[in-house]
Amino acid sequence: MKGKPISITGQRFTRLVALKHIGLGKWKCQCDCGNTHIVKASHLLTGSVKSCGCLRKEKWHGMNNTRIYHIWENMKQRTMNPSANEYEHYGGRGIKVCDEWIDFKGFYSWVKTTNYNDEEKLTLDRIDNDGDYCPNNCRWVTRKKQNRNSSMNVNITYKGNTRCLTEWGEIYNIHPKTLSSRIKNGWSIENAFTIPVASKSNRGIGNHVTTNRIVNQYDLLGNFIKKWNSIKEASIATNTSLSGIGRCCSYQIKTSGGFVWRYDENRK
């Protein structure tokens, strides 16, 4: 009596994902190109079959190791492969690749009509961030411009001006990720933009703490509470660990004693 066949449901084999066993050792698979394909489990496990046949067809162009080919391949992965790292931001939001571009030949025909060249390291950008990958919605831009068009780079209105976080970061000399983290943690827009980030030279080395530096105390929303003449004074008055305040000022930890601590940048 034959045993139950090994289950490979959900497993990926290059471009194929096994969907269900249909008998006689064969599996129905989903290919990244969108086609379904019936394959023997033995062929999947040994790697003799890697796609529905689309991979073999693509090798005609001899461009598999080029930058433009990888751009096309990554575009399909993030829109068609639920296991891809960025799928939730693309395919998971309903972003699709147009039928014309499913095949590399169609995509490359469009590329040749554009201003793309490898030396400039341009990236593929969608004009409408909620639209699909298609000729009418795509262009080549610098990485910086693409980041500004990203759904993860929200627009913020402050003092009557609306800009993306990248631009606000450039204006206030604070990294956009720091601004985003502050806002997500409940900081007011004004505090997120105006409370300075300690310079690297002031962040301390190892566990060393400069106890005579002036420090500022903030609540967890970034609201200023009080200026202290030294870490030691703040530690005694607030019953907070001396090293904890120092490590918070040095960005080794986020908070200490229920407060945010920062060296005062105006006085050394």
Does residue 222 belong to any structural domain of this protein? yes
The domain that holds 229 is classified in CATH as: 1.10.10
The domain boundary residue, chosen from 136, 168, 194:
194
As a whole-number percent, the residues of the chain with pLDDT over 90 amount to 13
The per-residue pLDDT for 1 is 45
Instruction: Pick the closest to residue 49 from 37, 61, 58 (CA basis).
Output: 37
Does residue 32 belong to any structural domain of this protein? yes
The domain boundary residue, chosen from 148, 164, 182:
148
Does residue 2 belong to any structural domain of this protein? no
- Give the residue-averaged pLDDT of 16-27: 90
The per-residue pLDDT for 161 is 81
Q: What is the Cα–Cα distance from 242 to 48, expressed in whole angstroms?
A: 63
Specify whether the CB–CB gap between 192 and 225 falls below 8 A.
no
The per-residue pLDDT for 208 is 44
If asked whether residues 77 and 144 sit together in one domain, one would say yes
- Give the residue-averaged pLDDT of 43-71: 78
Whether this prediction's pTM lies above 0.75 is answered by no
Would you say residue 98 has pLDDT above 90? yes
- Give the residue-averaged pLDDT of 127-133: 84
Q: How confident is the model at residue 200 (pLDDT cuts 50, 70, 90)?
A: very low
Does residue 30 belong to any structural domain of this protein? yes
CA distances in angstroms from 4 to 23, 25, 85, 142, 164, listed in the order given: 11, 10, 33, 54, 56
If asked whether residues 210 and 253 sit together in one domain, one would say yes
Report how many domains make up the chain. Answer: 4
Specify whether the CB–CB gap between 215 and 245 falls below 8 A.
yes
Q: What is the Cα–Cα distance from 134 to 188, expressed in whole angstroms?
A: 39
Residue 215: domain span: 200-263
**In which element (H, E) is residue 215 found?**
strand 215-218
Does residue 268 belong to any structural domain of this protein? no
Identify which has the larger pLDDT, 103 or 252: 103
